[in-house]
Every structure is written in C-alpha cells, then in structure tokens.
C-alpha cells in the first residue's frame, strides 16, 4: 500500500462527538470537586478553550496561588469518573463512518483536542469511533491549540511512517479551531450547526452540518 499523502486532524467535542454541553457541565462539577466554588462557566470567553487552561484559570482565581501542572492528573481522573456516570454521548452524525472511510481511502487521521486524554478516549469509545491512543494530542501538553495540533501532526507522521504530508486538513466546530488552522497554515473545514454562522463570518469557506459528506469531499 502507498503511504498516505493527506492527513485529516479532527477536533473531538462538537466535531466527532455530540458532547459539548454535557462536557462543560462535567468540567464545572469537577472544578467544584477540587474546591473551586466560583467557576467561570463562560468557557467561550477563555483565552484558551482547553481543559488545562480552564483548570489554571479557575484555580488561580479561586485560590490566589499559582497553578501547578500536577493538578492535571487529579482533574483528568475526576473528569473521567464524572463523565462515565452520565449516559453515553452520541456521535456527530456520520463521524464513525467518516473516519473509517478516510482510512480505507488511504488518508491519515489524527486527533487534537482541548480535552484531556482519558475523557477524550471515553467519548470516542462511546461513539465507537476508531482511534489509536498515540494519534491523540491533548491540552495536557499546552494551553494553546497550536502546540497540540502540531503534536498530533508529528504523531501521525510517526504512526503512518510519513516524512511529510502533501496536505493537512483541520476539521473543527469552533472559531478557535479555525484560528488555529489559520495560524498554522492548514486547510480548515468547519463542522456543526452551533457555530456555523460565526465560522462563516470569520472566513470559513467550507462547512458541513455533520460528517456524512466529509469523507467523499476529501477523497
């Protein structure tokens, strides 16, 4: 088989899994469990739309002391334990088949998420979406998306044994995903209804309401 020359990097929440509302609720609950009582639930206003930054922002505002990265392990475990108490999340329509169709067409895939690893894997598992753990880059390595998107790309190069991809496509549901793709010079495709108009206002030229047609568009 020829090596893949195209890489598709997926966001997870709101892009592959219909999990944004539930996950925001769980994040708030877990920050409360860590003793943070005044949680800023306006997640879209954060400087970085990631779990690690949400923990830092709320921890420092609540305790008036510096965030310690060691807190991430506790936060990740709480997120997983709380999330699993809720009914399983559903896929964004077409997500499971989209990933498989891309792989079958010899496209490489990777995942870059503002979530942390254990809850990210749980959501993908609940939707039966294919992944390899090594292909998931999360906000555990950085607050900003650019860093973990670049890590996802490097992970994909290693996994698929490709020195460089001819084309890298970023697929996401948020304006933050679009801005990250622009900053990195990646092709961007928007997914989902909640941020559709804002994405288009910000220059998103290709958008699908779900994932039923994405693979055929890219192949």
Domain assignment of residue 164, yes or no: yes
Predicted local confidence at residue 64, as pLDDT: 83
Domain assignment of residue 28, yes or no: yes
Q: What is the mean pLDDT of the chain?
A: 96
Q: What is the number of other CB atoms lying within 10 angstroms of the CB of residue 162?
A: 16
Asked whether residue 11 falls in the same domain as residue 105, the answer is yes
Taking only the tens place, the pLDDT of each residue in 51-81 is 999 999 999 999 988 999 899 999 999 999 9
Arithmetic mean of pLDDT, 134-159? 98
Band (6; pLDDT cuts 50, 70, 90): very high
Domain assignment of residue 71, yes or no: yes
Domain assignment of residue 1, yes or no: no
For residue 135, what are the domain limits? 6-18+90-218
Asked whether residue 105 falls in the same domain as residue 172, the answer is yes
Band (1; pLDDT cuts 50, 70, 90): low
Q: What own/partner pairs with CB < 8 Å and gap ≥ 24 does 32-36 have?
A: 33/78, 33/82, 34/59, 34/71, 34/74, 34/75, 34/78, 35/62, 35/63, 36/62, 36/63
Predicted local confidence at residue 3, as pLDDT: 82
Domain assignment of residue 116, yes or no: yes
Predicted local confidence at residue 2, as pLDDT: 82
Asked whether residue 75 falls in the same domain as residue 168, the answer is no
Arithmetic mean of pLDDT, 120-145? 98
Asked whether residue 163 falls in the same domain as residue 152, the answer is yes
Asked whether residue 207 falls in the same domain as residue 192, the answer is yes
Asked whether residue 139 falls in the same domain as residue 96, the answer is yes
Asked whether residue 71 falls in the same domain as residue 149, the answer is no
* CA atoms of 211 and 191, how far apart (whole Å): 7
CATH code of the domain containing 166: 3.40.50.1000
- Residues above pLDDT 70, as percent of the chain: 100
Asked whether residue 134 falls in the same domain as residue 214, the answer is yes
Predicted local confidence at residue 165, as pLDDT: 97
Domain assignment of residue 59, yes or no: yes
| Number of compact structural domains in the chain | 2
Arithmetic mean of pLDDT, 185-193? 97
Asked whether residue 174 falls in the same domain as residue 79, the answer is no
| Token pair belonging to 34 | 């860590």
Arithmetic mean of pLDDT, 133-161? 98
Arithmetic mean of pLDDT, 29-43? 94
- Residues above pLDDT 90, as percent of the chain: 94
Asked whether residue 133 falls in the same domain as residue 211, the answer is yes
Predicted local confidence at residue 60, as pLDDT: 95
Asked whether residue 14 falls in the same domain as residue 25, the answer is no
How far from 189 is each of 123, 146, 200, 203, CA to CA, in Å? 21, 16, 11, 11
Asked whether residue 112 falls in the same domain as residue 208, the answer is yes
Task: Tell which phi-psi region holds residue 128, choosing left (phi > 0), alpha (psi between -120 and 50) or beta.
Answer: left
């Amino acid at each position: 088989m020829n090596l893949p020359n195209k890489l598709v990097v997926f966001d997870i929440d709101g892009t592959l899994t219909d999990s944004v509302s539930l996950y925001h609720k769980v994040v708030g609950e877990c920050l409360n469990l860590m003793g943070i009582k005044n949680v800023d639930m306006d997640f879209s206003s954060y400087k970085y739309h990631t779990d690690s930054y949400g923990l830092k922002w709320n921890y420092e505002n609540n305790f008036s002391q510096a965030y310690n990265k060691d807190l991430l392990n506790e936060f990740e475990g709480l997120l997983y334990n709380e999330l699993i108490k809720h009914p399983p999340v559903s896929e964004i329509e077409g997500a499971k088949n989209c990933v498989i169709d891309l792989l079958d067409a010899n496209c490489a895939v990777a995942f870059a998420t503002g979530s942390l690893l254990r809850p990210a894997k749980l959501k993908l598992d609940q939707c039966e979406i294919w992944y390899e753990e090594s292909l998931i880059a999360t906000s555990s390595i950085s607050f900003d998306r650019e860093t973990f998107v670049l890590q996802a790309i490097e992970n994909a190069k290693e996994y698929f044994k490709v020195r460089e991809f001819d084309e890298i496509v970023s697929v996401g549901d948020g304006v933050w995903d679009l801005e990250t793709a622009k900053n990195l010079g990646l092709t961007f495709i928007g997914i989902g209804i909640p941020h559709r108009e804002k994405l288009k206002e910000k220059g998103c030229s290709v958008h699908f309401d779900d994932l039923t047609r994405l693979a055929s568009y890219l192949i």
